[in-house]
Chains A and B, each alone.
Chain A
Amino acid sequence: MSGSTVVPSIPVVKEADRPAKGAGGRHDSRRKRAVIHLLLIVAALVAAFPIIRVFGVAMRPGNRILDSEFSIIPPGATLDAFRSVLFETDLPLWLFNSLVITTGTAFVGLLIAATSAYAFARYRFPGRGLGLTMLLATQLIPAAMLLVPLYILAVQLKLTNSFVGMVIALSVTSVPFSIWILRGYYETVPVELEEAAQIDGCSKLEAFWRILLPLSTPALAIVFLFNFLAAWNDYFLARILLSKEPLLTWTLGLSRFQGQFQTQWNELAAASIMISIPVVALFLYSSKWLVSGVTAGGVKG
């Protein structure tokens, strides 16, 4: 942990600590400020354009799905697409399936990573360095490489078309990254706090449970979120493990949806909006912590 120059812990730099001037250290002139705002507006438009357009498409009436106009609220706007997606497709079921799988996955992943990361942070034991290196190396494995053996394994164990296989496979894939993040965070917590608790009569593991874990709540939340988002967005594992209609996750359901109804563009758009809003809200709410989590655990100068 020596020589780390990166944001070391979860609470990010506060507004007040930021330099009052531009990055160059100079006060910006009026003209420069105008140019900067202009550039940022263009960037924001490019970033948000596909999303703004999706809102427009979702509200198009059935006879104008393939219109070529760009207004946010199209002529004859209607919420029919939202209604038909909610009540005439299996989207609610797919979302429910994803939610159940994802929540289970995030919990298992967190449980496994939290304890291992503690061992890596606070103990010196044979195989520690090798273990950390192997954890990093797993990040290099192309996902496509593991899909075949996992598929065959699932077939042999009769775990295809079952959420059991999904939860097990998904929760383990995010464990290496979680361990790195948590280990990085644990190491920023002074070990003296645990030592004091031990002097007061706690065992070492009790000190972990009563002192370190509660102090690491932000990092634990980040890891939970990471695992949650990774599992929520999984497509390929679901594609090889799940094929029965009532078991589909939303990623599978939606991509089939587009295949079947190539022209039901408004319904695809409506579904996309309904799936995205909670995720985007969660993401924006937690993005500050998400990012400092990456820099604290993965990035060491």
Chain B
Amino acid sequence: MSLDAVATALGQVGLTLVAIAFMVAVLEGGLYLLLVRILRYRNAVPIMLVAPAAVGLTVLIVYPLLWELNVSFTKMSLRNFGDPGFLGLSRGWFVGFENYTQVFKDPVLKLTGFWQLLGQTVLWTASNVTLHVLGGLALALLLHRRMRGKGIYRALIVLPWAIPQVIALLVWRTEFNFEFGAVNQLLGLAGIEPVRWLSDPFWNFLAMIITNVWLGIPFMMVIILGGLQSISADYYEAAEMDGASSSQAFRHITLPLLRPVLTPAIILGTVWTFNNINVPFFINPNELETSDILVTAIFRQAFQYNRYGDAAAFAFVVFLLLLVFTIVYIRFTGSLKGAYE
């Protein structure tokens, strides 16, 4: 660790902080002069407060999205690399909606097309979210009682969430090694033939799901545990007096009262799993296309095959898909009602 590198790092980050503080000050000052002094605008204060975030998000999210939209109409690639300009017109890169129609016709990766990737993504998302919720619910119900060692159980079960994800993934990838990985060695102890976790399409997909279920259950468990704690014990006492069985109490008290916690957690979990680029990327070192989901395909198309125009159109299709799903789901469950009041 050289002194030089340390100084560079501190200098760059320090400079960035100073620069950002300066820009915020200039922005606020300018807005103050414009809105308060010159226009005497009624809503000047909240607008000034929101301005830094708005500018930051515009520069780093809205502008990149518009740039991406622009590129999605061009044939920008490794061969046609550079600033495309407006729709690539001046460079003759403009292809109209061709990239969008190609998404559904040609293979998105080397062999695999959109529909197969969509199928893999749906399978990936549905199985993960289902197992996360069921596993989390089961563990939360087990832990939701007065018992010895509760804190220790909780701390141990939360570990997969607490560990830096990249480390967890590197460890799992190593443990799935055909010869030396713990998974096959444990299977061997049980007398089961070793499995090609990293090179066989079926087993690799399963390995990804195993890893992600292991990673994701703690979050659901903790959220559901919080929900369980907010249910008053009075309900259960009343139910017991009325002679309800514990399965009836679970169905008619626990589940309905967990809904306000479960629905948003499921939406979040679905979006996170759908957009999970880490797990399918790290647990698939042989780059099997059968283990790719839509978002990893976007990454490969752009950064490994350098098909920027194609990848941009593809990314917008995927984004719209997720947007439509989320809107329908939120409308259907009414889960965000009251969040704006």
Contact = CB atoms under 8 A, between A and B. Distances in A.
Interface of A: 1-7, 12-13, 17-26, 28, 33, 36-37, 39-41, 43-44, 46-51, 53-54, 66, 68, 70, 90, 92-93, 96-97, 100-101, 103-104, 107-108, 111-113, 115-116, 118-120, 123, 125-126, 128-129, 131-132, 136-150, 152-153, 156, 162-164, 167-169, 171-173, 175-176, 179, 204-205, 232-233, 235-236, 240, 246-247, 251, 254-255, 258, 265, 268-269, 272, 275-276, 279-280, 283-284, 287, 291-292, 294-295, 298-301
B126 interface: no
A121 B318 CA distance: 32
Interface centre among A24, A115, A164, A280 (most CB of B within 10 A): A24
B90 interface: no
Nearest to B15: A164
Contacts of A3: 338
A131 B167 CA distance: 36
Given A140-B271, A144-B302, A147-B299, A233 B277 contact: no
Interface stretch (B99-107, B111-119, B171-179): B171-179
Could you tell me the dominant secondary structure of chain A's interface residues?
Answer: helix
A145 B298 contact: yes
B60 A168 contact: yes
Contacts of B145: 19, 21-23, 28, 36
B233 A21 contact: yes
Contact of B142 (A40, A111, A142): A40
Interface string B3-17: 001101110111111
Interface residues of B, number: 124
Interface in B175-223: 175, 179-180, 182, 185, 214, 218, 222-223
Contacts of A123: 43, 45-46, 49
Given A25-B233, A236-B277, A295-B223, A142 B64 contact: no
A148 to B, nearest CB: 5
A113 B144 contact: no
Nearest to A141: B319
A276 B237 CA distance: 44
Given A44-B156, A280-B162, A142 B185 contact: no
Interface string B311-341: 1100110110011001000000000101111
A140 B323 contact: yes
Contact of A299 (B52, B264, B282): B264
Contacts of B36: none
Contact of B277 (A37, A93, A143, A269): A143
A238 to B, nearest CB: 10
B302 A276 contact: no
B159 interface: yes
Contacts of B341: 1-2
B254 interface: yes
A283 B161 CA distance: 9
Q: Which 6 A-B pairs have the closest CB atoms?
A: A25-B236, A301-B260, A149-B64, A24-B246, A123-B46, A119-B49
A279 B162 CA distance: 7
A229 to B, nearest CB: 8
A246 B147 CA distance: 50
Contacts of B294: 142
A147 B171 CA distance: 26
B13 A40 contact: no
A116 B165 CA distance: 30
Given A13-B229, A108-B20, A254 B166 contact: yes
Contacts of A21: 145-146, 233, 236
A279 B226 contact: no
B249 interface: yes
A104 B13 CA distance: 6
Contact of B233 (A19, A107, A120): A19
A115 B49 contact: yes
Given A90-B1, A163-B13, A140 B163 contact: no
Interface string B120-155: 000000000000000000010111111101001101
B230 A13 contact: yes
A136 B145 CA distance: 35
Nearest to B259: A301
A172 to B, nearest CB: 4
B165 A233 contact: yes
Given A2-B338, A108-B17, A254-B170, A36 B147 contact: yes
A44 B145 CA distance: 17
A142 B322 CA distance: 9
Contacts of B63: 149, 153
Nearest to B278: A235
A300 B17 contact: no
Contact of B61 (A141, A147, A235): A141
Given A24-B236, A144-B302, 14 more contacts: A101-B13, A142-B275, A142-B295, A142-B298, A145-B68, A148-B303, A164-B19, A254-B166, A254-B167, A255-B170, A275-B167, A280-B159, A283-B162, A299-B261
B172 A50 contact: yes
Contacts of B10: 100
B168 interface: yes
B16 A140 contact: no
A50 B182 contact: yes
Interface in B220-264: 222-223, 226-230, 233, 236-237, 239-240, 246, 249-250, 254, 257, 259-261, 264
A152 B67 contact: yes
B158 interface: yes
